[in-house]
Structure 1
Amino acid sequence: MTKRMVIMLVCVGVLFGAIFGWKAFVNHMMTGFFDNMPMPVANVSTAEATRDEWALSLDAVGTVEAVNGVEVTSQVGGEVAAIEFTSGDQVKKGDLLVRLESRADQAQLKALQATAQLAAQEYDRYQRLFKQGSISQSELDSRRAQRDQSMAQADAQRQQLSYKTIRAPFDGVLGIRRVDIGQYLQPGTPVVSLAQLDPIFVNFALPEQTLSKIETGLTARASLDAYPDQKFEGTITAIEPGVNETTRNVTIQASFENADQRMRPGMFANVTIQLPQSEPVVVIPRTAVAYAPYGNAVFVIQDAPAKEGEQTEQQSEDGAGKIVRKRFVKLGRQRGDLVVVESGLEPGEIIATSGLLKLRNDAPVAIENDVQPSAEATPEPANS
């Protein structure tokens, strides 16, 4: 290797070393600049964690069921002669729904009635003959049996004829008809559904551990996905006497007034049972919670550490000199805009209720409570 080549390599090494050194120096200076740059002050609204008394409640999911609900069917076979209802009609018990072809049955009934009438007349005549001593007791008994048999056959045919008219078994609302005029119905063929909607039941299950807390007469509130802004209030009317051996749950039934028929059989219902007992709780607005998969947290407002030569009492003037500290909390029940904090926060502590996305530990904040998020335990639909 020549001397000139060595000199070139040394120069190249020095050049690259200078470049990398300069880059490292610049990065170091930039890191120091950003590390020492003060964090921007975030404007937040605040609320105080307060102690309250909340009535105990139990939550469950259930299904809406009709007090009475059936598929109206044909008891006998026959051709549909007339349909006397419209799908969705409100009907009373005994209202005529479908009429089957019955001319042959009516003729058969007339024949049996005539036979029964003749048998009755024969029996009356034989009674007179028996009183005169013209016939024996056995002959009279035979005529009585013939009369009774003829009358029973006429009654059976009359009952069979009544099955040719299909009627509503109770008051309720009809579904969509499933038969057409001229269609031949086999016995048991569904004609239309019928449901009694007012009142209406909601059946749900609770763990067996809750049996000591529930009783008939307690208030039950239900919410439906179809009407998210409306609460339906009812009463527990029945408790299953036994506990399911598989799930260890007990079935509860609550009755609800349903004059507007908004609650329909088969609907999914979220049910809350109001218990007579209450418990002390610590509550905060739900807007104060930073929800995350790894844990829910709040940002607690604290005084910023006093800098050397500054007066701490001056730092808190107009909400200045405040920082936030992130603290993980365990949440409990919710009611309206409020949520229970089971652990991690004490009553009286001040927390941020807005601007959470721009907050981090030790971030400086300025308090502005001119506009506050809703924080009501029982909000109206416009606030919920």
Structure 2
Amino acid sequence: MGNDVLLRMDERRARAAGIDVTRVEAEAGTTQTMLPGTVVVPPQQLRIVAAPAAGLVEAVLVAPNEAVRAGEPIARLRSTDLLEAQRTYLQALSAEELARQRLRRDEQMFKERIIAERRLLTTRADYDFARTTLQEREQMLALLGMAEPDIGELRESRRMVAALTVTAPVDGVVLETKASAGERVPASDPLFSIAQLKPLWVNLQVPLPQAMVIEPGTRMSVPGTTAQGEVVRLGRLVDPTTQSVTAVVEVSDGAEALRPGQVVNASVALRPNGAPQWRVPAGAVVRHAGKSWVFVRTAEGFRAKPVTVIAETPNATSIRAGLAPDDQVASRGILTLLAELTDVYGG
């Protein structure tokens, strides 16, 4: 009987405890259950665009829900940090050019045996330091948001600019603008959130009794829309308030019918696993020791049997279990049987 637990109880005692029994009803196999869920953007598809430097937001060039392309200007930022970074870059550029000229001169003088090798080595080390400093200053400009063509223009013209253009890092949709024109922002302050909206995720809240029949590959659809997908991951952490776990469904087909933050009731297609499926009164199923149980009437009393809950309504519960068509389960007086189960089974 596997994990079945025999609870010995004669007819007189069962009547005194107010225990009623109901015959189980065979089901053809309920393959759909409704579960609540929330639409979210997969974290790898969400980008937060931050201010590359402290400064004044001159202009916001995009609006929420607007589609953008990678590299498209989305804001202009005036920054004294940018001016300072350009100044130190130009200083490093001049120092590198001077060190390069000195190295070229000393190399020629060494060939002509005018200077010692030690002086050439010193000059070469000075040039390497100047070149490394220039590369560092150039990388700082890139971190502040200056594009490579703009850095090239600065190198050629030696003319500094006070504003920089913030661009979209990826193709996507602007979900939120977090700053407005005229606002002063510190470095790394969020300016925009941009997301790629296909595919999307639906985080389903799966009650523990049903978690046993949800697995990766289980299909899901949202009634009234074209959205459908399949479970890619079933969480291990149980919410202590709702006693549910999260099943993550990836939706590619019909993702445009969903919006991040939307609450949906999803229809989940349960795969048959070969176990018979039955319909019992809602009160016939109890939770104990991390399992769902029904109490099957026997000649000796009742047999507590672990079952897998498929779907629940206020009046009935669909379960999968090794039952027979003429089996009867307790539908009232369950607390007495649950107390007996606790004494025998523990947990």
Q: Note the C-alpha offset of 1:116.
A: 1.8
Q: Which residue of 2 aligns with 1:65?
A: 40
> Are 1:53 and 2:18 matched, yes or no?
no
Residues 267 and 135 (structure 1), Cα distance of their counterparts in 2 relative to 1, 3 Å cut? farther
Q: Check whether the contact 2:226–2:254 (CA below 8 A) recurs between aligned residues.
A: no
Contact 2:39–2:262, Cα closer than 8 Å, also in 1: yes
Distance (Å, rounded) in 2 between the aligned partners of 1:180 and 1:171: 22
Deviation at 1:260, TM superposition (A): 6.4
Query: Would you say how many aligned residue pairs link Structure 1 and Structure 2?
Result: 238
Contact 2:225 2:257 in 1 (8 A): no
Looking at structure 1, the residues matched to 182 and 239 of structure 2 have their Cα atoms a distance apart, in angstroms, of: 50
In the superposition, relative to structure 1, how do residues 220 and 84 fare at CA in structure 2: closer, same or farther (>3 Å)?
same
Alignment partner of 1:153 is 2:133: yes
C-alpha separation in 2, matches of 1:341 and 1:207: 13
Q: Deviations over 1:179-221 (max 9, x none)?
A: 3444332112221222221111112343556555333222112
* Match among 86, 96, 100 for residue 116 of structure 1: 96
- Structure 1 residue 254: deviation in Å? 0.9
Which residue in the other structure is 1:219 paired with?
219
1:236 pairs with 2:236: no
Q: Which runs of 5+ in 2 are unaligned?
A: 1-24, 146-164, 280-309, 320-347
Asked if the contact 1:220–1:254 (Cα under 8 Å) also holds between the matched residues in 2, the reply is yes
The 2-side partners of 1:280 and 1:82 are apart by 63
SS at match of 1:261: helix
Query: Cα distance, 1:169 vs. partner?
Result: 2.6
Are the structure 2 counterparts of residues 252 and 147 from structure 1 closer, same or farther at C-alpha, using a change threshold of 3 Å?
Answer: farther
Please report the RMSD computed on the Cα atoms of aligned residues, expressed in angstroms: 3.8
Partner Cα separation in structure 2 for residue 215 and residue 341 of structure 1: 20
Q: Is this contact kept in 1: 2:227–2:257, CA < 8 A?
A: no
Counterpart of 1:98? 75
The Cα offsets for residues 13-41 of structure 1, whole Å up to 9 and x where unpaired, read as xxxxxxxxxxxxxxxxxxxxxxxxxxxxx
CA contact (8 A) 1:66 1:200 kept: yes
After superposition, residues 10-89 of structure 1 pair within 5 angstroms as 53-67=28-42, 68-89=45-66
Match of 1:140, as an amino acid?
Answer: L
Inter-partner Cα distance in structure 2 for 1:257 and 1:206: 21
**Secondary structure, in 3 states, of the residue corresponding to 1:87?**
coil
Residues 247-282 of structure 1, C-alpha deviations (whole Å, 9 max, x = no match)? 765432111126663322222222332122075668
What is the CA–CA distance in structure 2 between the aligned matches of 1:172 and 1:179, rounded to whole Å? 19
Structure 1 residue 89 displacement after superposition = 1.7
Q: Alpha-carbon deviation of 1:148?
A: 3.0
Q: Deviations over 1:39-90 (max 9, x none)?
A: xxxxxxxxxxx98623434543222111222432113212334433333321
| Partner SS state of residue 257, structure 1 | strand
Q: TM-score, normalised by structure 2?
A: 0.56
Would you say the 8 A contact 1:62–1:202 is kept in 2?
Answer: yes
Letter matched to residue 222 of structure 1? V
The Cα offsets for residues 82-109 of structure 1, whole Å up to 9 and x where unpaired, read as: 4333333211233222232367244543
* AA partner of residue 267 (structure 2): T
- Aligned counterpart, 1:269: 264
Cα offset, 1:236, TM superposition: 1.4
Contact 1:90 1:173 in 2 (8 A): yes
Q: For residue 131 of structure 1, report the CA deviation from its aligned partner.
A: 4.3
Q: 1:142 to 1:85 in 2, by over 3 A?
A: farther
AA paired with 1:203?
A: N
Matches within 5 A, 1:302-381: none
Are 2:105 and 1:128 aligned? no
Identity of aligned residues (%): 23
* SS of residue paired to 2:105: helix
C-alpha contact (below 8 Å) 1:200/1:258 kept by paired residues = no
Per the alignment, do residues 263 and 166 of structure 1 end up closer, same or farther by CA in structure 2, a change over 3 Å counting?
same
Indicate how the Cα distance of structure 1 residues 94 and 138 shifts in structure 2: closer, same or farther if over 3 A, else same. farther
- Asked if the contact 1:173/1:196 (under 8 Å) is kept, the reply is yes
* Equivalent-residue separation in structure 2 for 1:211 and 1:59 (angstroms): 13
Which blocks of at least 5 consecutive residues in structure 1 are unaligned?
1-49, 224-228, 283-331, 344-384
Q: Does residue 200 in structure 1 map to residue 200 in structure 2?
A: yes
Q: Which structure would you say has the larger RCO, counting Cα contacts within 8 Å and 6 or more residues apart?
A: 2
Change (3 A) 1:114 1:204: same
Partner SS state of residue 120, structure 2? helix
Question: 1:208–1:243: 8 Å Cα contact kept in structure 2?
Answer: no
Q: In 2 relative to 1, CA 94–217 (structure 1 residues): closer, same or farther, beyond 3 Å?
A: farther
Task: Classify 1:250/1:146 alpha carbon distance in 2 versus 1 (closer, same or farther; 3 Å).
Answer: farther
1: CA distance between counterparts of 2:318 and 2:56? 68
